Structure 1
Amino acid sequence: MKLLVLSSYVNVLLVFIPLGIIFGALHMSPYLVFSINFLAIIPLAALLGFVTEDLAKHVGQTLGGLLNATFGNAVELIVAIVALSKGEILIVQASMLGSILSNILLVLGCCFFAGGMKFQEQTFSNIVAQTMSSLMALATASLLIPAAFRATLDTTEHGLDEPRILAVSRGTAIVLLMIYVLYLVFQLKTHAALFEEIESGEEEPAELSVPICLVALTIITLAISVCADYLVDSIDSIVISTGLSKTFIGLIVLPIVGNAAEHVTAVMVAMKNKMELAIGVALGSSMQIALFLTPFLVILGWIMNQPMTLFFSTFETAVLFVSVFITNAQIQDGISNWLEGAMLLGTYMIIAIAFFYYPADL
């Protein structure tokens, strides 16, 4: 227990976990409930990452890679499942898109900028980066196609729109999940040598036993679920009273929760000139969300009878397309500097400003 508590400096925020649950159970101010549970999930995300990495050391590189892929974005997945169960489709879609944007623009931008302030130029494997960015381009196409499909439908046939879009989204989701499985085979078996530097990181022995890791994962997951439940419940009241859109909250605010620990890790690694690992964290996480979490949630919505689709608004799909295009332009030469980081951060700020003024979806 002491090892877990001392595993990260953000664990000072653990005090907010019981407070968030109590305030939520007592139906206190939505602002208070949202803020306290927001802060509570940050250390839980850090603990989840620490325990998952420790468990991965016990099971070997291949299975360890699968574990990191599964639990690396567990907070986003839990929050999204809670929102999906409540029918908050806009929040689910925005949180998935926001997690992708925060990783490829905010995290990668911070890595390039922080590393570039210490080193004049930093190099990384452009082959691995291009593979991940190509998969991101595929994921972007999977969102553009449903949007284009919806735009071509006869607007007089409103009753037929939703079933058609649902069918297209569910079929596309199945294809994306198949591509993700093939990517895992590519990464962990047929072309594992390309990813060795990313996978290896620091060779340190495991500090927790397997049973302790499993118990800790169970407790942390349950705690995140409870805090996420209260957090999602408070969003409607905040939207009504502030005029902010659910899209802004899901796209800009919620990704900070799930990615906070990941962001810090990537930047620290970049400042040590380990750009392969930093790229793996930033692009790898985005790719997992685009090819695994988002289509998985579409299929889960199908099972739960919730109309979760891959149909995003024209503005959202345009923003994702531009972001992936700019990211690809920055990484194609395998060299980074602080100016490239500033450009990525500037793009993210422009997107955040635009979504801040995005009309509220009441």
Structure 2
Amino acid sequence: MPERPVGPAPTLWQGIRAIITISWINLLLVCIPISWALNFTLEHSDKNDTIIFVFAFLAIIPLAKLLAFATDELSMRVGQTLAGLLNATLGNAVELIVAIIALAKCQLAIVQSSLVGSILSNLLLVLGMCFFAGGTRFSEQGFGVSVTQLNSSLLTISVIAVLLPAAFHFTADAAINDPLEAKDILAVSHGVAIILLFIYGSYLVFQLFSHKTLYDDDHPDIFRSTKYTPREKKNKEKKKDEASLSVPDAQEPHNIPSESTSTHTDLEIGAPHAEEEEEEKPQMSVPLTIGLLAVVTVLVAVTAEFLVDSISGLTDSGKINKEFVSLILLPIVGNAAEHVTAVTVSVKDKLTLSIGVAVGSSIQIALFVIPFIVTLGWIMGKPLSLLFDPFESIVLFLTVLVVNYVMQDGKSNWLEGMILMSLYLIIAVTFWYYPGVNELQASLSC
């Protein structure tokens, strides 16, 4: 697929103006200095930590949006396949920063829950919103079956890697707090993490080099998107069909195309992929884009530290539990970039890119971020393992199973999107009341 030409870079002032006016969400940037000031001036207590958490939570939302904006500017210069990888990678920057800070503070449960929650958010909320938003304009949207099957395999492997330590724990003869079992689980986790990192490296080679054409929009196994048929056209087709019934059967083979031929022709002619590519106009220069990425990353890192520090005080108040905060709230903030990017391009009939962002982000978290954090904890001397909360592991397994069923035909519609979003709401309601199983981490604490 030929890449769209990129126009000339704007001036520095035009780029700064684009950053300021990119979205009304930028109004929430005022929460950054407020959250910093509250963190340094207020003493840590249940009530004060709740206030700090709210402002830090709101402050990360516009930062995630700016991160998505800068990522899009870089993406238009590198091509669609690399653009999807770049969006997924930088879109996960918030989750990675939050996980590293929580790991350094030995908040192991928050690290695990936030990463599992990020996968759930991408697979159900982000992907569901993409299917639903695209379904408002298109009757059906298509994407690559081969790539979908590969993604399903990778997600399944990652879920198995999370389930095996839990199965090891429950089937072992040792007691829950036996230090020998804890040592074995850590050893298993470290070995599996290294293997997962190797799989992710192989996946990058497959995606970017050996099978790069599989990810092109014009690949033969991608179903063509079909738009809704206007009411006037439906009436004309109905009258035409009624008129064809009055024609003698003997003339049918010579004058009237068969239904299957007509349908096939309509799909080929109605395909929206024959449009001439227009020039893309960047809103920032490359140096300004890189500078914005660096500044936003620093602001996210500092604000995320205040956010993590305030979680304990927030959950100690008893109004909300730690599992809901780390599994639902934190991933929604961290995935704000993916939400905006993926939904926007799905409406433009670029569902392949949307899936590259949403599903690709989940694969990256499962095969790279989680094993990387486990390996980093190994280096830092933190007992972070792949022994996740059993209920979270089961929910993750069922989520991957549902997404595999929804995507296996290579087509999507608005109802499938609504199903995925509804399942996410069901999970959110469940975890609002779920207290967590703290006993499992008793032997794997700092």
TM-score range, shorter chain: over 0.9
How far residue 267 of structure 1 moved from its aligned partner, in angstroms, is 2.0
- The alignment status of 1:176 with 2:191, answered yes or no, reads no
Give the aligned partner of residue 22 of structure 2: 7
Alpha-carbon distance in structure 2 between the residues aligned to 1:209 and 1:340: 39
Q: 2:211 aligns with which of 191, 201, 206?
A: 191
Q: Which amino acid aligns with 1:18?
A: P
Q: 2:415 aligns with which of 339, 345, 352?
A: 339
Unaligned runs of 5+ in 1: none
With structure 1 as the length reference, what TM-score do the two structures score?
0.93
Within a 5 Å distance, the mapping from 1:1-362 to structure 2 comes to: 1-27=16-42, 29-57=48-76, 67-156=86-175, 158-197=178-217, 204-359=280-435
How far residue 204 of structure 1 moved from its aligned partner, in angstroms, is 2.6
Alpha-carbon distance in structure 2 between the residues aligned to 1:249 and 1:346: 19
Q: Which amino acid aligns with 2:362?
A: S
Provide closer, same or farther for how the CA distance between residues 253 and 7 of structure 1 changes in structure 2, counting only shifts above 3 A. Answer: same
Deviations 1:299-349 (A, max 9, x none): 111111111111112211110110000000000001112222222122211
Of 79-88 and 48-57, the range deviating more from structure 2 = 48-57
Provide closer, same or farther for how the CA distance between residues 202 and 181 of structure 1 changes in structure 2, counting only shifts above 3 A. Answer: farther
Give the aligned partner of residue 260 of structure 2: none
Unaligned runs of 5+ in 2: 1-15, 219-276, 439-446
Q: Classify the secondary structure of the residue corresponding to 2:131.
A: helix
Q: Which amino acid aligns with 2:284?
A: L
Provide closer, same or farther for how the CA distance between residues 49 and 354 of structure 1 changes in structure 2, counting only shifts above 3 A. Answer: same
Of 47-56 and 274-283, the range deviating more from structure 2 = 47-56
- Is residue 30–residue 237 contact of structure 1 (8 Å, CA) maintained in 2? yes
Q: Which of the two has greater helix per residue?
A: 1
Deviations 1:242-275 (A, max 9, x none): 2533221111000111111321322232223322
Alpha-carbon distance in structure 2 between the residues aligned to 1:102 and 1:65: 17
Q: Classify the secondary structure of the residue corresponding to 1:306.
A: coil
Q: Classify the secondary structure of the residue corresponding to 2:217.
A: helix
Alpha-carbon distance in structure 2 between the residues aligned to 1:68 and 1:285: 8
Q: Classify the secondary structure of the residue corresponding to 2:387.
A: coil
- Is residue 194–residue 371 contact of structure 2 (8 Å, CA) maintained in 1? yes
Q: Which amino acid aligns with 1:186?
A: F
Alpha-carbon distance in structure 1 between the residues aligned to 2:72 and 2:379: 31
Alpha-carbon distance in structure 2 between the residues aligned to 1:32 and 1:354: 25
Deviations 1:41-98 (A, max 9, x none): 1111111222233345556778766644532210110111111110001111011000
Q: Classify the secondary structure of the residue corresponding to 2:70.
A: helix
The alignment covers a number of residue pairs equal to 360
Q: Which amino acid aligns with 1:191?
A: H
- Is residue 53–residue 307 contact of structure 2 (8 Å, CA) maintained in 1? yes
Q: Which amino acid aligns with 1:247?
A: E
State, as a whole percentage, how many aligned pairs show the same letter: 52
| The structure with more radius of gyration | 2
With structure 2 as the length reference, what TM-score do the two structures score?
0.76
Provide closer, same or farther for how the CA distance between residues 297 and 335 of structure 1 changes in structure 2, counting only shifts above 3 A. Answer: same
Alpha-carbon distance in structure 1 between the residues aligned to 2:55 and 2:332: 14
Q: Classify the secondary structure of the residue corresponding to 1:121.
A: strand
Provide closer, same or farther for how the CA distance between residues 272 and 65 of structure 1 changes in structure 2, counting only shifts above 3 A. Answer: closer
How far residue 361 of structure 1 moved from its aligned partner, in angstroms, is 6.9
Provide closer, same or farther for how the CA distance between residues 361 and 17 of structure 1 changes in structure 2, counting only shifts above 3 A. Answer: farther
- Is residue 17–residue 37 contact of structure 1 (8 Å, CA) maintained in 2? yes
Q: Classify the secondary structure of the residue corresponding to 1:244.
A: coil
Q: Classify the secondary structure of the residue corresponding to 1:242.
A: coil
How far residue 197 of structure 1 moved from its aligned partner, in angstroms, is 3.1
Q: Which amino acid aligns with 2:118?
A: S
- Aligned CA-pair RMSD: 2.2
Provide closer, same or farther for how the CA distance between residues 126 and 42 of structure 1 changes in structure 2, counting only shifts above 3 A. Answer: same
How far residue 240 of structure 1 moved from its aligned partner, in angstroms, is 0.9
Q: Which amino acid aligns with 2:326?
A: G
How far residue 173 of structure 1 moved from its aligned partner, in angstroms, is 0.7
How far residue 110 of structure 1 moved from its aligned partner, in angstroms, is 1.6
Alpha-carbon distance in structure 1 between the residues aligned to 2:98 and 2:170: 30
Alpha-carbon distance in structure 1 between the residues aligned to 2:389 and 2:117: 14
- Is residue 245–residue 361 contact of structure 1 (8 Å, CA) maintained in 2? no
Give the aligned partner of residue 246 of structure 2: none
- Is residue 85–residue 360 contact of structure 2 (8 Å, CA) maintained in 1? no
Of 282-291 and 104-113, the range deviating more from structure 2 = 104-113
Alpha-carbon distance in structure 1 between the residues aligned to 2:278 and 2:316: 47
How far residue 122 of structure 1 moved from its aligned partner, in angstroms, is 1.9
Q: Which amino acid aligns with 1:332?
A: Q
Give the aligned partner of residue 10 of structure 2: none
Provide closer, same or farther for how the CA distance between residues 57 and 269 of structure 1 changes in structure 2, counting only shifts above 3 A. Answer: closer
Q: Classify the secondary structure of the residue corresponding to 1:25.
A: helix
Alpha-carbon distance in structure 2 between the residues aligned to 1:89 and 1:142: 18
